[in-house]
A = this chain, B = another copy of it.
Amino acid sequence: MAAITIFGKGNMGQAIGDVFKQGGNDVTYLGNGDPVKDLGDIVVLAVPYPAAISIAKTNLAALIGKIVVDITNPLNFDTWDDLVVPSDSSAAEEIQRLLMDSTVVKVFNTTFAATLKSRKVGGQQTTVMAASDSNDAKEALAAALKDSGVAFVDAGALKRARELESFGFLQMTLAAKETIGWTGGFAVEK
């Protein structure tokens, strides 16, 4: 059982909290303006990318030693044609650069809120993919998700967040065009 704090009570925050609760973890939420204290070992930034950067900058000390989960897809929502992070970086790496004494894990950006909640992508079990330079952090997340109904895949080092974010970006463009539904997307088949 892990103590998990989730910044953000939106669709993604709620779906992620539900998954972790089913996994037997202790989940607490922090909304905008709530005092940042008593953070769990795993802190999920379930907010858009600009807000995640802002939370990181404002709470450097509180996040020291924590596993910080970045779930963002840093789209340019004006154009839907680019990400707002440099093409040779990723949201996760930018957040890790700010949080030198935290361990950032990219995860939950390749599934929609609906497919996390239902544990199904179309007809297949929902799988989340995690990238981090810390194997311990990925193992802690895998353990916390063990009984959650969601499968877990280690996608490699934090640099792979670039590909996870491209994957999430592409999936969102297809859903926005109604080529796929928000209850579908890319399923991981072993």
Q: Report B-chain residues with C-beta under 8 Å of the C-beta of A122.
A: 124, 187, 189-190
**Residues of A in contact, count (CB < 8 Å):** 36
Q: Is the CB of B184 within 8 A of A189?
A: yes
- The digit string for A60-79, where 1 denotes a CB below 8 A from any CB of B, is 00000000000000000000
- The digit string for A116-140, where 1 denotes a CB below 8 A from any CB of B, is 0000011110000100000000000
Q: Is the CB of B153 within 8 A of A81?
A: no
How many subunits of this chain does the assembly comprise? Answer: 2
A55 in contact (CB, < 8 A): no
Q: A155-B174, A164-B170, A186-B189 are in contact. List 8 more A-B contacts (CB 8 A).
A: A86-B87, A87-B88, A123-B124, A123-B189, A162-B166, A167-B170, A179-B190, A180-B190
Least Cβ–Cβ distance between A15 and chain B, in angstroms: 17
A146 in contact (CB, < 8 A): no
Q: Report B-chain residues with C-beta under 8 Å of the C-beta of A159.
A: 81
- The digit string for A146-168, where 1 denotes a CB below 8 A from any CB of B, is 00000001111101101110110
Bound CA–CA A70/B180 (angstroms) = 24
Least Cβ–Cβ distance between A48 and chain B, in angstroms: 19
Bound CA–CA A28/B130 (angstroms) = 42
Q: Is the CB of A187 within 8 A of B190?
A: no
